[in-house]
Structure 1
């Protein structure tokens, strides 16, 4: 049951990232959505959605690895 919840937690940011990629691609091919008033605004919203989704997924993986002690501790001192 916990694995299903974890997959769903990663599915939503993945879909958000995919929608961000779609918005950026639509901007490059001159397909504008009516809720955005300028093409650069549409591209920036898409970029933010993409980066936010990737950031969440990356943070989830790092947190899980640290919790299970699979990540190396870097000591640069």
Structure 2
């Protein structure tokens, strides 16, 4: 059960990053997604979703590797 919960927790930021890429792609092709009124706002939301999603995933991996001792002392901070 714990593995399933961890998978769901990691799936949410991955879907969020994917939505961010989709928003930015749609903006470049000039297609406006329904609840967002302006293209520039859609692009900004896409960047935010992408950065937050990837940042959460990268932070999780860094935390896990630090816990398992796989990070060299130079990077530990």
**TM-score tier after normalising by the smaller chain length:** 0.7 to 0.9
**Superposition map of 1:24-43 within 5 A:** 24-43=24-43
Alignment root-mean-square deviation, CA? 1.4
TM, length-normalised to structure 2: 0.88
What do residues 14-54 of structure 1 show as CA deviations (whole Å, max 9, x unaligned)?
00100111110110111102322221110000110011000
Cα distance in 2 for residues equivalent to 1:72 and 1:6: 26
SS of structure 1 residue aligned to 2:7: helix
Q: Which residue of 2 aligns with 1:13?
A: 13
Structure 1, unpaired ranges of 5+: none
Structure 2, unpaired ranges of 5+: none
TM, length-normalised to structure 1: 0.88
Report how many aligned residue pairs link the two structures.
75
